[in-house]
Structure 1
Amino acid sequence: MNPVKSLLIISRQAPWAGPGAREALDIALAGGAFDLPIGLLFLDDGVFQLTQAQRPATLEQKDLGANLQALPLFGVESLYACRHSLAVRGLGQTALGLPVSVLDDDQLRALVDHYEQVITL
Protein backbone atom coordinates (compact mmCIF):
# COMPACT_ATOMS: atom_id res chain seq x y z
CA MET A 1 0.00 0.00 0.00
CA ASN A 2 1.37 3.42 -0.97
CA PRO A 3 1.70 6.08 1.70
CA VAL A 4 -0.51 9.15 1.38
CA LYS A 5 1.23 11.91 -0.54
CA SER A 6 0.77 15.62 -0.04
CA LEU A 7 -0.76 17.58 -2.91
CA LEU A 8 -0.47 21.24 -3.82
CA ILE A 9 -3.07 22.54 -6.25
CA ILE A 10 -2.09 25.74 -8.04
CA SER A 11 -5.13 27.61 -9.33
CA ARG A 12 -4.17 30.19 -11.97
CA GLN A 13 -7.49 31.04 -13.65
CA ALA A 14 -9.98 33.72 -12.76
CA PRO A 15 -13.32 32.27 -11.68
CA TRP A 16 -14.98 33.37 -14.93
CA ALA A 17 -12.19 32.42 -17.37
CA GLY A 18 -13.13 28.79 -17.94
CA PRO A 19 -13.39 25.52 -16.06
CA GLY A 20 -9.92 25.60 -14.44
CA ALA A 21 -10.95 27.42 -11.26
CA ARG A 22 -13.90 25.11 -10.63
CA GLU A 23 -11.80 22.02 -11.39
CA ALA A 24 -9.11 23.11 -8.93
CA LEU A 25 -11.73 23.53 -6.21
CA ASP A 26 -13.36 20.21 -7.04
CA ILE A 27 -10.01 18.41 -6.74
CA ALA A 28 -9.29 20.15 -3.42
CA LEU A 29 -12.70 19.28 -2.00
CA ALA A 30 -12.50 15.66 -3.17
CA GLY A 31 -9.00 15.22 -1.78
CA GLY A 32 -10.02 16.84 1.49
CA ALA A 33 -12.96 14.45 1.78
CA PHE A 34 -10.42 11.60 1.71
CA ASP A 35 -8.16 13.26 4.29
CA LEU A 36 -5.32 13.92 1.84
CA PRO A 37 -2.88 16.63 2.95
CA ILE A 38 -3.79 19.37 0.45
CA GLY A 39 -2.66 22.92 -0.09
CA LEU A 40 -4.32 25.36 -2.49
CA LEU A 41 -2.29 28.19 -4.00
CA PHE A 42 -3.97 31.06 -5.85
CA LEU A 43 -1.57 32.44 -8.43
CA ASP A 44 -1.83 34.91 -11.34
CA ASP A 45 -5.52 35.56 -12.20
CA GLY A 46 -6.45 32.80 -9.76
CA VAL A 47 -6.29 35.39 -6.96
CA PHE A 48 -9.53 36.85 -8.34
CA GLN A 49 -11.29 33.76 -6.94
CA LEU A 50 -10.60 35.15 -3.48
CA THR A 51 -12.35 38.49 -3.91
CA GLN A 52 -15.48 39.07 -1.87
CA ALA A 53 -17.67 41.08 -4.23
CA GLN A 54 -18.04 38.75 -7.18
CA ARG A 55 -21.14 38.84 -9.37
CA PRO A 56 -20.88 35.70 -11.50
CA ALA A 57 -24.52 35.85 -12.63
CA THR A 58 -23.66 38.91 -14.72
CA LEU A 59 -21.41 36.68 -16.83
CA GLU A 60 -23.81 33.75 -16.63
CA GLN A 61 -21.34 31.82 -14.46
CA LYS A 62 -21.81 29.83 -11.28
CA ASP A 63 -20.65 31.30 -8.00
CA LEU A 64 -17.56 29.58 -6.58
CA GLY A 65 -17.98 31.31 -3.23
CA ALA A 66 -19.81 28.42 -1.57
CA ASN A 67 -17.12 25.96 -2.69
CA LEU A 68 -14.39 28.24 -1.37
CA GLN A 69 -16.15 28.64 1.97
CA ALA A 70 -16.50 24.83 2.20
CA LEU A 71 -12.76 24.18 1.91
CA PRO A 72 -12.09 24.24 5.68
CA LEU A 73 -15.08 21.94 6.27
CA PHE A 74 -13.35 19.38 4.03
CA GLY A 75 -10.03 19.76 5.85
CA VAL A 76 -8.42 22.03 3.25
CA GLU A 77 -7.02 24.74 5.46
CA SER A 78 -3.65 25.38 3.83
CA LEU A 79 -4.62 28.26 1.54
CA TYR A 80 -2.03 30.52 -0.05
CA ALA A 81 -1.93 33.51 -2.38
CA CYS A 82 0.94 35.02 -4.31
CA ARG A 83 1.85 38.50 -3.02
CA HIS A 84 2.98 39.64 -6.48
CA SER A 85 -0.22 38.39 -8.16
CA LEU A 86 -2.35 40.27 -5.63
CA ALA A 87 -0.31 43.47 -5.98
CA VAL A 88 -0.34 43.48 -9.79
CA ARG A 89 -4.14 43.12 -9.74
CA GLY A 90 -4.61 45.83 -7.10
CA LEU A 91 -5.93 43.43 -4.46
CA GLY A 92 -5.11 43.83 -0.79
CA GLN A 93 -5.84 41.28 1.91
CA THR A 94 -8.92 43.26 2.94
CA ALA A 95 -10.50 42.48 -0.46
CA LEU A 96 -10.20 38.76 0.10
CA GLY A 97 -13.09 36.61 1.27
CA LEU A 98 -10.94 33.84 2.78
CA PRO A 99 -8.02 33.84 5.17
CA VAL A 100 -4.94 32.97 3.14
CA SER A 101 -1.23 33.09 3.77
CA VAL A 102 0.25 35.64 1.37
CA LEU A 103 3.65 34.50 0.14
CA ASP A 104 6.53 36.19 -1.66
CA ASP A 105 8.57 34.50 -4.42
CA ASP A 106 11.05 32.75 -2.09
CA GLN A 107 8.23 31.43 0.08
CA LEU A 108 6.41 30.18 -3.05
CA ARG A 109 9.44 28.16 -4.13
CA ALA A 110 9.72 26.64 -0.66
CA LEU A 111 6.00 25.86 -0.67
CA VAL A 112 6.17 24.00 -3.98
CA ASP A 113 9.21 22.07 -2.76
CA HIS A 114 7.33 21.10 0.42
CA TYR A 115 4.60 19.18 -1.42
CA GLU A 116 5.20 15.78 -3.01
CA GLN A 117 2.79 16.32 -5.89
CA VAL A 118 1.75 19.53 -7.65
CA ILE A 119 -1.18 20.09 -10.02
CA THR A 120 -1.56 23.35 -11.91
CA LEU A 121 -4.90 24.38 -13.39
Structure 2
Amino acid sequence: MKQFLFVLRRPPHSGAFVQEMLDIVLTTAAFDQPASVLLLDDAVFHLKHGQQPADFGMKDTASIYRALEIYDVKHVYAELESLEERGLKPADLGLPVQTIYRKDIASLMRRHQVLFPG
Protein backbone atom coordinates (compact mmCIF):
# COMPACT_ATOMS: atom_id res chain seq x y z
CA MET A 1 0.00 0.00 0.00
CA LYS A 2 1.33 3.42 -0.95
CA GLN A 3 1.97 6.06 1.70
CA PHE A 4 0.68 9.56 0.86
CA LEU A 5 2.27 12.77 2.17
CA PHE A 6 0.46 16.08 1.70
CA VAL A 7 2.83 19.03 2.05
CA LEU A 8 1.26 22.39 2.82
CA ARG A 9 3.22 25.66 2.72
CA ARG A 10 0.60 28.36 2.16
CA PRO A 11 -0.91 30.37 5.01
CA PRO A 12 -4.43 29.61 6.15
CA HIS A 13 -7.28 31.38 4.40
CA SER A 14 -5.20 32.00 1.28
CA GLY A 15 -7.95 31.02 -1.09
CA ALA A 16 -9.56 27.75 -2.13
CA PHE A 17 -6.26 25.88 -2.41
CA VAL A 18 -6.02 24.91 1.27
CA GLN A 19 -9.64 23.75 1.37
CA GLU A 20 -9.15 21.69 -1.79
CA MET A 21 -5.95 20.11 -0.50
CA LEU A 22 -7.64 19.13 2.77
CA ASP A 23 -10.53 17.65 0.79
CA ILE A 24 -8.02 15.51 -1.11
CA VAL A 25 -6.44 14.38 2.18
CA LEU A 26 -9.83 13.32 3.55
CA THR A 27 -10.80 11.59 0.31
CA THR A 28 -7.52 9.68 0.25
CA ALA A 29 -7.96 8.59 3.86
CA ALA A 30 -11.62 7.68 3.28
CA PHE A 31 -10.41 5.08 0.78
CA ASP A 32 -8.16 3.53 3.46
CA GLN A 33 -4.97 4.95 2.00
CA PRO A 34 -2.36 5.91 4.61
CA ALA A 35 -2.20 9.72 4.54
CA SER A 36 0.02 12.13 6.45
CA VAL A 37 0.21 15.93 6.46
CA LEU A 38 3.35 18.07 6.69
CA LEU A 39 3.03 21.77 7.54
CA LEU A 40 5.90 23.98 6.44
CA ASP A 41 6.50 27.72 6.35
CA ASP A 42 3.30 29.76 6.89
CA ALA A 43 1.16 26.62 6.82
CA VAL A 44 2.01 26.12 10.51
CA PHE A 45 -0.53 28.90 11.16
CA HIS A 46 -3.33 26.55 9.98
CA LEU A 47 -3.55 25.06 13.45
CA LYS A 48 -2.95 28.18 15.55
CA HIS A 49 -5.46 28.67 18.37
CA GLY A 50 -7.88 31.56 18.22
CA GLN A 51 -8.32 32.11 14.50
CA GLN A 52 -11.55 33.84 13.47
CA PRO A 53 -11.76 33.35 9.68
CA ALA A 54 -15.49 34.10 9.60
CA ASP A 55 -14.62 37.71 10.51
CA PHE A 56 -12.96 37.94 7.09
CA GLY A 57 -15.59 35.98 5.18
CA MET A 58 -13.38 32.88 5.02
CA LYS A 59 -14.20 29.26 5.82
CA ASP A 60 -12.81 27.76 9.02
CA THR A 61 -10.40 25.05 7.89
CA ALA A 62 -9.48 24.20 11.50
CA SER A 63 -12.62 22.07 11.71
CA ILE A 64 -11.35 20.00 8.79
CA TYR A 65 -8.09 19.40 10.61
CA ARG A 66 -10.06 18.16 13.61
CA ALA A 67 -11.73 15.62 11.29
CA LEU A 68 -8.36 14.10 10.31
CA GLU A 69 -8.43 11.82 13.34
CA ILE A 70 -11.87 10.51 12.40
CA TYR A 71 -10.50 9.66 8.95
CA ASP A 72 -7.56 7.85 10.54
CA VAL A 73 -4.92 10.36 9.44
CA LYS A 74 -2.44 9.49 12.16
CA HIS A 75 0.47 11.78 11.34
CA VAL A 76 0.37 15.56 11.20
CA TYR A 77 3.90 16.94 11.12
CA ALA A 78 4.99 20.53 11.67
CA GLU A 79 8.50 21.68 10.88
CA LEU A 80 10.04 22.89 14.12
CA GLU A 81 12.02 25.67 12.48
CA SER A 82 8.87 27.00 10.75
CA LEU A 83 7.13 27.14 14.12
CA GLU A 84 10.06 28.87 15.81
CA GLU A 85 10.55 31.39 12.99
CA ARG A 86 6.92 32.45 13.44
CA GLY A 87 7.05 32.62 17.22
CA LEU A 88 4.95 29.49 17.71
CA LYS A 89 5.38 26.34 19.73
CA PRO A 90 3.38 23.10 19.55
CA ALA A 91 1.26 24.19 22.54
CA ASP A 92 -0.02 27.14 20.44
CA LEU A 93 -1.68 24.73 18.02
CA GLY A 94 -5.19 23.36 18.16
CA LEU A 95 -4.13 19.77 17.43
CA PRO A 96 -1.23 17.66 18.59
CA VAL A 97 1.47 17.52 15.94
CA GLN A 98 4.70 15.66 15.55
CA THR A 99 7.48 18.19 15.18
CA ILE A 100 10.21 17.46 12.69
CA TYR A 101 13.51 19.21 12.11
CA ARG A 102 14.16 20.74 8.70
CA LYS A 103 17.15 18.43 8.22
CA ASP A 104 14.86 15.38 8.55
CA ILE A 105 12.22 16.36 6.00
CA ALA A 106 13.94 14.68 3.04
CA SER A 107 14.01 11.42 4.98
CA LEU A 108 10.31 11.78 5.84
CA MET A 109 9.48 12.37 2.17
CA ARG A 110 11.44 9.28 1.09
CA ARG A 111 9.27 7.15 3.40
CA HIS A 112 6.22 8.11 1.32
CA GLN A 113 5.57 6.92 -2.21
CA VAL A 114 3.16 9.72 -3.20
CA LEU A 115 3.84 13.40 -2.47
CA PHE A 116 1.32 16.19 -2.94
CA PRO A 117 3.26 19.46 -2.79
CA GLY A 118 1.42 22.59 -1.91
TM-score by length of structure 2 reads: 0.95
Which residue of structure 2 lines up, in the alignment, with residue 23 of structure 1?
20
* SS in structure 1 of the partner of residue 73 of structure 2: coil
Say how many residue pairs are matched: 118
What's the RMSD between the two structures over aligned residues? 1.0
Is 1:91 the counterpart of 2:83? The answer is no
Which residue of 38, 52, 57 corresponds with 1:55? 52
- Give, in whole Å, the separation in 1 of the partners of 2:15 and 2:84: 23
Aligned identity (percent) is 36
Tell me whether 60-69 or 12-21 shows the greater mean CA deviation. Answer: 12-21
CA distance in 1, matches of 2:46, 2:62: 8
Corresponding position of 1:12: 9
1:67 aligns with 2:64: yes
- Equivalent pair of 1:11/1:43 in contact (CA under 8 Å): yes
Q: Runs in 1 of length 4+ with deviation above 2 angstroms? A: none
On the 8 A contact 1:8/1:117 being kept in 2, the answer is yes
Aligned residue for 2:70, secondary structure, equals helix
Kept in 2, the 8 Å contact 1:43–1:82? The answer is yes
Deviations 1:54-90 (A, max 9, x none): 1101221000121110001001111100111111111
Is contact 1:40–1:80 with CA below 8 Å preserved after alignment? yes
Q: C-alpha displacement at 1:48, in angstroms?
A: 0.6
Query: How far did 1:5 drift?
Result: 1.4
Instruction: Tell me the amino acid that sits aligned with residue 115 of structure 1.
Output: H
Give 5+ residue unaligned stretches, structure 2.
Answer: none
Cα drift, residue 20 of structure 1: 2.2
Where in structure 1 are there 5+ consecutive unaligned residues? none
Q: Which amino acid aligns with 1:85?
A: S
Contact 1:9 1:118 survives alignment (8 Å): yes
